[in-house]
């Protein structure tokens, strides 16, 4: 499927990381999601019920990142992917791509941040 809906560079605050100080103080996280599905039925019918409501996708991403602390950004990505696939099962999302970036990573050097990208199918 080549059709997709993308939400790019969503920004949230969360308390995630393996170090105690990472979980003690909120820090920024950035999230991108791509949802692959056939957009033709929604486009022809002009019907939100036949596509992904990106308000709901945004809400899911926010809930995960701003929710309970986890150690790994991999865990955040998995939780987001799983919840999106379940939420949009009715519109037959065939694949979801989730990118999670942690701009303020604690490493002994200069870098823009750490990131993971996963692809999941139902």
Average pLDDT over residues 2-24: 95
- Give pLDDT tens digits for 66-112: 999 999 999 999 999 999 999 999 999 999 999 999 999 888 889 99
SS3 30: strand
End-to-end Cα, the chain, rounded Å: 14
Catalytic residues: 102
Encoded tokens for 56: 């709901």
The pLDDT, as a whole number, for residue 107 is 85
67 SS3 class: coil
* pLDDT recorded at residue 106: 80
pLDDT at 1: 57
**Domain 4-120 is in which class?**
alpha beta
């Amino acid at each position: 499927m080549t059709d997709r809906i993308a939400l790019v560079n969503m920004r949230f605050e969360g308390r995630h990381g393996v170090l105690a100080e990472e979980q003690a103080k909120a820090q920024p996280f950035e999230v991108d999601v791509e949802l692959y599905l056939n957009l033709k039925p929604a486009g022809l019918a002009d019907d939100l019920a036949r596509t992904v409501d990106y308000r709901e996708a945004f809400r899911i991403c926010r809930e995960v990142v701003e929710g309970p602390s986890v150690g790994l950004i991999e865990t955040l990505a998995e939780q987001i992917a799983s919840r999106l696939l379940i939420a949009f099962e009715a519109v037959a999302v065939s694949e979801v791509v989730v990118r999670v970036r942690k701009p303020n990573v604690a490493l002994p050097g200069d870098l823009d941040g750490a990131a993971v990208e996963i692809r999941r199918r139902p």
